[in-house]
Amino acid sequence: MTELRDLWDEYGIIVQGGSRTTRALKVEEEIHALQKKIGTSRYDFDKRWERNAEMSKSTLLIAPTDGVEETPSVPSTNFTFEQAKERIGENDFALLEDCAMRAEAEMVVLARILDSLNIDNQRNVARRGQAINIAVRKFEELKSG
């Protein structure tokens, strides 16, 4: 059974690559052989790849104008850090930097407090993130009210 699990793990990595390689086909054959050996139904890999191809198609439809097909515009501006810093200016940069440091400090403090209140927060990062969001919202409500 662990051999089958190992093959499925390897196949999962191959699927993440996005293409059905010769190695993928070989693993599919090995999985089918093991499934036959243990008497379980064969997995339909063809349907999986058809579904993946269907899901990867664009759903964005743009009506052509004057017989010319338009493609969606993609932002082409890529700022370097220095260019972005220059564009926003020293004052705004300093404010953003201060806000970022304060946000980081708040997250560190809240994480420590939340971990001490409930040990599950150490293992469940999503839970801790939700708790931090709720705590910050309540903190802002108390400060403004």
pLDDT digits (tens, 9 = 90+) for 79-135: 788 888 998 999 999 999 999 999 999 989 998 999 899 888 888 889 888 998 999
Say if pTM beats, i.e. exceeds, 0.75. no
Q: Which residues of 55-64 are buried (b: 16+ CB within 10 A; e: fewer)?
A: eeeeeeeeee
Percent of the chain at pLDDT > 90 equals 21
The b/e string for 73-98 (b: 16+ C-beta within 10 A; e otherwise) is: eeeeeeeeeeeeeeeeeeeeeeeeee
pLDDT digits (tens, 9 = 90+) for 122-144: 888 898 889 989 998 999 999 88
Q: What are phi and psi of 114, to 5 degrees?
A: -65, -35
- Please state the domain extents for the chain: 2-55, 92-144
